[in-house]
Amino acid sequence: MLQSLNARALLVSLVLLVVTLGLWQLSHESPEVDTEMTEYERLMGGADQEARVPPPSQVIGLAVEELSNPFYDAGPNDKGIGIQLGYSIYRVLTGFGLAALLAIPLGFLIGMSPLMYKALNPFIQILKPISPLAWMPLALFIIKDSETSSIFVIFICSIWPMLINTAFGVAGVRKDWVNVARTHELTPMSTAFQVILPAAAPTILTGMRISIGIAWLVIVAAEMLVGGTGIGYYVWNEWNNLDLTSVIFSILMIGIVGMLLDMALASATRLVQYQE
């Protein structure tokens, strides 16, 4: 009898995985052909009339092959999955980092000053719901560089959750703690760094975690648009090549990298978490 909840959950997960993969694999098997193939059919390689999604066995085979040599570069249309993911991660981290540099100080300002909150709120409310991809044509026109434009798109979509969470976290710092800073004659700078920042850090980190999740969603679409390099471009390129095995493989890789980014931010959040 498995006592631990984790162990039992793992067992259920494994069963679900095996059942799903098994059904997928089985559904791929073409039906038995009982009649002799015509000459035409033989010439066509006995192909099934209906195209089928490649089975998991093929995907796993490709994954082993790709991951054993992830960083090869054989020209613009044939780069290793590691290189493609690397481009995407670089763009996400750059756009996200620039957004954090702007959003966190600005969020501090909005959170501290009711005036700035009221003054900036209409802009935030209008800009926030805009799909980041809608900025793409404007970005391409102004920046005139597809790579920088995709970084800009990441930047613009990462700003909002960080800005709003920072402002919310800063505005919600308990008045008692601010009073502690005041009675100890802390300068505004010391108050910001020693009291408000640690107090608001968990909320700010939660905003950053939401942002990086959105950024990773958006980069795939952005790279499909601008092309060239990156995992989004890779997916679209393999679709154009009708290589569905690679498409499924890269979908999985997008999921895994997204999970790792989220886990990194989650553990950073745990570092600054405190219990009241």
Partner 1 sequence: MTEPHFLEVKHLAKRFGTDHGELTVFDDVSFGLDKGEFVCIIGHSGCGKSTILNVLAGLDSPSGGEVYMAGKEVRGPSLERGVVFQNYSLLPWRSALSNVEFGVRARFPGWSKSQVREHSLQYLHMVGLKDGAEHRKPAALSGGMRQRVSIARAFATQPQLLLLDEPFGALDALTRGTIQDELLKICTETHQTVFMITHDVDEAILLADRILLMTNGPFARVAESVKVSIERPRDRTTIVHDPGYYPIRTHLVDFLVSRSRELSERDDAVRDAGHSREARAQALAPVDVDPAAEARARAAGEAPPEALRTLHSTPAAAPLKAVNGR
For partner 1, the binding residues in 126-185 under the rule CB under 8 A are 176-177, 179-180, 182-185
Of the candidate residues 21, 53, 93, 186, the single one contacting partner 1 (CB under 8 A): 186
Piece in contact with partner 1 (CB under 8 A), picked from 25-33, 119-127, 195-203, 225-233: 195-203
Q: Does 118 bind partner 1 (CB under 8 A)?
A: no
Q: Does 276 bind partner 1 (CB under 8 A)?
A: yes
Q: How far is the CB of 112 from partner 1 (least distance, A)?
A: 17
User: Which residue type does 150 have?
Assistant: S
Q: Does 268 bind partner 1 (CB under 8 A)?
A: no
Q: Which is nearer to partner 1, 40 or 274 (CB)?
A: 274
Q: In degrees rounded to 5, what are phi and psi of residue 73?
A: -135, 105
CA atoms within 13 A on the CB side of 106: 16
Of the candidate residues 194, 227, 251, 257, the single one contacting partner 1 (CB under 8 A): 194
Q: How far is the CB of 179 from partner 1 (least distance, A)?
A: 6
Q: Using alpha carbons, list the distances in angstroms from residue 264 to 49, 158, 250.
A: 46, 16, 21
Q: Which is nearer to partner 1, 128 or 184 (CB)?
A: 184
Distance CA 204, CA 167 (A): 8
Helices (H), the chain: 5-28, 39-43, 56-68, 81-112, 114-127, 136-143, 146-171, 175-183, 188-190, 197-226, 231-240, 244-272
Of the candidate residues 76, 97, 114, 198, the single one contacting partner 1 (CB under 8 A): 198
Q: 63-88 burial by CB neighbour count: b if 16+ within 10 A, else e?
A: beebeeeeeeeeeeeebbbebbbbbb
Place of tokens 């085979």: 61
Of the candidate residues 35, 240, 267, 275, the single one contacting partner 1 (CB under 8 A): 275
Q: How far is the CB of 16 from partner 1 (least distance, A)?
A: 38
What tokens were used for 65? 């092959």
Q: Which is nearer to partner 1, 73 or 185 (CB)?
A: 185
Contact positions vs partner 1 (CB under 8 A):
176-177, 179-180, 182-186, 194-195, 198-199, 201, 272, 274-276
